[in-house]
């Protein structure tokens, strides 16, 4: 596909610049408490409004960095009409690439295909060889059409300039899906619905996204059921379950109120799972997360189900699990042996937090970000694999309007560590928009100055 818009997004004086699944799901509100952000050397943070389309609502941005060329980034987000629009706009999701670490961006057409006229819930990931994959829900207007729509995957071998036609997975449209790529094996893991919307399941490609496993492998965990529309079966489970994978070890985590946090491990691409309990390193099980970041099944719109998970690609078997606690704190627990033993918690104060994210860099640095209900975004980094974290760094220069925060079309934020930087992505209402999707490039040295 040809390029069609070059976006020269440079900082201003501010430093700046799902489908019907959105109708059903998990209601959430904000968390609270206090942290002391770092303010020194803030001019080193490069903040860009990548989408900058005031007439529409662009949310839940994700960025991926090419391991073969760390200057090459690919960025995706949703495109919705302003509220009360419950479906994405006609056409593709937002897709752009950069060859200068995010200083400037070139938008390209989304590889939508002809299965459905709209694009929902995009995500993006590179493999170790520099091939980049995007996935999305096929979205149509009306319930009947969406009941048979699927999750699909496309790829680019030239850094995001041109894209293959999408390949439909056997997974049905699902809320908040997040594709993952195992950088050790090259396998691609799509995540969406085993049935329409729920429960979350994986389908795996071992041939570079050309084909996917024909079965939908359900991720274990609680299966609460709700009625989303008269005349169709109840939907059960949580949509958008988080997975992490490295070198053939696939994991997820789950929780139920008043029960311990569970850790699920598969060594056969989700065909079978071993279930264990996360503990504090002293044998005490970790209680289910609490507070306003814990989603509740019900009518509303999906957001990330908790807990969140991340895979350390510098050490086989090391994974992090992040649990919200009492609306003001995030707890991080780490295993170095795929759930046999644990350390933690490392605690992070997260005032007024919304849509946190966690991810490891390729050398084992662990980043956590969150945005707030008051229009700011923060991040911390651990340089010892999650045992301790830096003080928070505020990654936006100026507090911005919150905009139409939340679903539909704004289910998550993100953090990616690569090439000496943390790339933090979120959405806010700057430039008189409903939502624009933003990225900040933060030198890791800013976090090292306050690392504990």
Instruction: Collect all residues with Cβ–Cβ distance below 8 Å to 254 and sequence separation of at least 6.
Output: 219, 220, 221, 222, 238, 241, 261, 262, 264, 305, 307
**What is the three-class DSSP state of 163?**
coil
**β-pairing verdict for 366-372 and 353-360:** antiparallel
Tokens of 40: 């020194």
Given a contact cutoff of 8 angstroms between Cβ atoms, the answer to whether 18 and 120 are in contact is yes
Closest CA to 344 of 390, 280, 262: 280
What is the Cα–Cα distance from 5 to 309, expressed in whole angstroms?
35
Tokens of 414: 């993100």
446 sits in which H/E element: helix 444-448
Tokens of 51: 């989408």
**3-class secondary structure per residue, 252-318:** EEECCCCCECEEEEECCCCCCCEEEECECCCCCECECCCCCCCCEEEECCCCCCCCEEEECCCCCCC
What is the Cα–Cα distance from 289 to 286, expressed in whole angstroms?
8
CA–CA distances in Å: residue 401 to residues 58, 157, 377, 409, 434: 14, 37, 12, 17, 9
In this structure, what DSSP letter does residue 17 have? Answer: -
User: For position 298, what pLDDT does the model report?
Assistant: 60
Query: Phi and psi dihedrals of 442, rounded to 5?
Result: -120, 120
Could you tell me the residue ranges of all domains in the chain? 42-447
What is the Cα–Cα distance from 63 to 271, expressed in whole angstroms?
29
Given a contact cutoff of 8 angstroms between Cβ atoms, the answer to whether 73 and 97 are in contact is yes
Residue-wise burial string across 340-363, b where 16 or more C-beta atoms lie within 10 A, e elsewhere: eebbbbbebbbbbbbbbbbbbbbe
User: For position 413, what pLDDT does the model report?
Assistant: 96
What is the Cα–Cα distance from 158 to 177, expressed in whole angstroms?
25
Q: CA 30, 34, 38, 39 torsion: positive or negative? A: positive
Tokens 């939508």: give the residue: 112
Q: How far is CA 19 from the centre of its chain?
A: 17
DSSP string, 179-235: -EE-TTT--EEEEEESSSB-SEEEEEESSTTS---SS-EEPPS---EE--STTS--E
User: For position 412, what pLDDT does the model report?
Assistant: 92
Given a contact cutoff of 8 angstroms between Cβ atoms, the answer to whether 311 and 253 are in contact is no
Strand locations in 67-145 (E) = 69-77, 94-98, 105-107, 118-126, 132-139
Per residue of the chain (452 residues), give pLDDT as tens. Answer: 333 455 645 444 333 333 333 333 333 333 333 345 555 577 899 999 999 999 999 999 999 999 999 999 999 999 999 887 789 999 999 999 999 999 999 999 999 999 999 999 999 999 999 999 999 999 999 889 999 999 999 999 999 999 999 999 999 998 888 899 999 999 999 999 998 888 899 999 999 999 999 999 999 998 888 887 788 888 888 877 899 999 999 999 999 989 999 999 999 999 999 999 999 999 999 999 999 898 876 644 446 679 999 999 999 999 999 999 998 999 999 999 999 999 999 999 999 999 999 999 999 999 999 999 999 999 999 999 999 999 999 999 999 999 998 888 898 999 999 999 999 999 999 999 999 999 999 999 999 987 66
Residues shown for the chain? 452
CA–CA distances in Å: residue 322 to residues 49, 114, 129, 209, 268: 28, 38, 29, 29, 24
At the top level of CATH, the class of 42-447 is mainly beta
What is the Cα–Cα distance from 439 to 424, expressed in whole angstroms?
6
146 sits in which H/E element: helix 143-146
Q: How many Cβ atoms sit within 10 Å of the Cβ of residue 364?
A: 17
Tokens of 1: 């596909």
């Amino acid at each position: 596909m040809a390029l069609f818009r070059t976006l020269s997004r440079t900082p201003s004086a501010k430093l700046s610049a799902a489908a019907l699944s959105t109708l059903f799901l998990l209601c959430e509100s904000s968390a609270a408490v206090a942290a002391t952000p770092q303010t020194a050397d803030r001019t080193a943070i490069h903040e860009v409004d990548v989408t900058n389309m005031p007439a529409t609502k662009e949310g839940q941005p994700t960025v991926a960095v090419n391991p073969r060329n760390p200057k090459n980034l690919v960025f995706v987000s949703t495109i919705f009409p302003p509220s009360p629009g419950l479906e994405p706009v006609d056409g593709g999701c937002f897709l752009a690439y950069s060859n200068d670490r995010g200083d400037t961006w070139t938008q390209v057409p989304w590889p939508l295909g002809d299965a459905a006229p709209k694009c929902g819930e995009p995500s993006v990931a590179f493999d170790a060889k520099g091939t980049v994959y995007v996935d999305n829900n096929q979205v149509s207007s009306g319930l009947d059409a969406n009941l048979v729509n699927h999750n699909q995957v496309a790829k680019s071998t030239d850094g995001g300039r041109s894209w293959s036609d999408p390949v439909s997975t056997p997974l049905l449209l699902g809320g908040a899906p997040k594709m993952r790529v195992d950088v050790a094996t090259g396998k691609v893991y799509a995540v969406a619905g085993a049935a329409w919307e729920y429960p979350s399941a994986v389908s795996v490609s071992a041939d570079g996204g050309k084909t996917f496993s024909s079965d939908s492998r359900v991720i274990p965990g609680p299966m609460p059921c709700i009625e989303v529309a008269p005349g169709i079966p109840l939907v059960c489970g949580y949509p958008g379950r988080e997975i992490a994978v490295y070198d053939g070890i696939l994991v997820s985590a789950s929780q139920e109120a008043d029960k311990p946090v569970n850790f699920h491990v598969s060594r056969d691409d989700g065909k079978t799972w071993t279930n264990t309990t996360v503990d504090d390193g002293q044998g005490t099980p970790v209680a289910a997360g609490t507070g306003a970041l814990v989603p509740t099944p019900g009518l509303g719109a999906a957001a990330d189900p908790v807990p969140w998970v991340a895979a350390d690609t510098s050490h086989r078997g090391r994974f992090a699990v992040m649990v919200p606690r009492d609306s003001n704190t995030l707890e991080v627990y780490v295993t170095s042996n795929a759930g046999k033993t644990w350390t933690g918690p490392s605690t992070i104060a997260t005032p007024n937090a919304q849509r946190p994210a966690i991810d490891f860099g390729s050398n084992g640095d662990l980043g956590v970000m969150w945005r707030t209900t008051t229009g700011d975004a923060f991040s911390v980094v651990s340089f010892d694999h999650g045992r301790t974290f830096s003080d928070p760094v505020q990654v936006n220069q100026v507090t911005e309007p919150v905009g139409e925060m939340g679903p539909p079309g704004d289910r998550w934020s993100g953090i990616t560590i690569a090439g000496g930087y943390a790339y933090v992505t979120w959405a806010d209402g700057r430039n008189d928009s409903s939502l624009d999707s933003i990225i900040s490039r933060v030198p890791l040295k800013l976090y090292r100055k306050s690392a504990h």
